[in-house]
Amino acid sequence: MKRENILAKKTARRYLKNRLHGDVSEKAVEHLQKTFQTSLDDFCDEAKKLHEEQNRLRKSVGLKEKKRFGEELFKKVSPGFLSSRTVSIIGVEGQQNVDTSISRSNDMEKKKTCSKKATICDGCEVQ
């Protein structure tokens, strides 16, 4: 099945130029189109799964299946869908990776194991 392009190149390029106040390359626009299309396809897959699950449950209790995808369904899919694709914002919580989280936990362990009588223990000061 051929995927239709739901975001027109001219529209995407014009929007990006207006928002970024500068020119945008063709490859950048194509990348945006692919990313947007993939995200929307994934969202639709999640909505379809939830719709089928809800209909299965409705059928098991004797209710009619819903044919239409309603706003409530999309509201249920959106938070889970977006949280699985979260982008960390540097500056709000700071950049954190394996090295920084390990070093923080090591510092905390050192402080917990230091004796209060010593003034300096393995490079950390005890107050």
pLDDT tens-place string over residues 82-112: 665 544 444 444 445 455 545 455 555 555 5
Would you call 35 exposed, middle or buried from its count of C-beta atoms within 10 A (0-12, 13-18, 19+)? exposed
pTM of the predicted model as reported, rounded to 2 decimal places: 0.56
Structural domain for 48, as ranges: 1-84
CATH of the domain at 57: 1.10.20
The 10 Å Cβ neighbour count of residue 29 is: 21
pLDDT digits (tens, 9 = 90+) for 59-90: 999 999 999 998 888 888 887 666 655 444 44
Helix, strand, coil shares of the chain, percent, nearest 5, are 60, 5, 35
CB 59 within 8 A of CB 65: yes
If asked whether residues 47 and 78 sit together in one domain, one would say yes
> Which of these ranges, 18-22, 35-39, 64-68, 94-98, has the smallest mean pLDDT?
94-98
In a domain, 90, yes or no: no
CB 105 within 8 A of CB 94: no
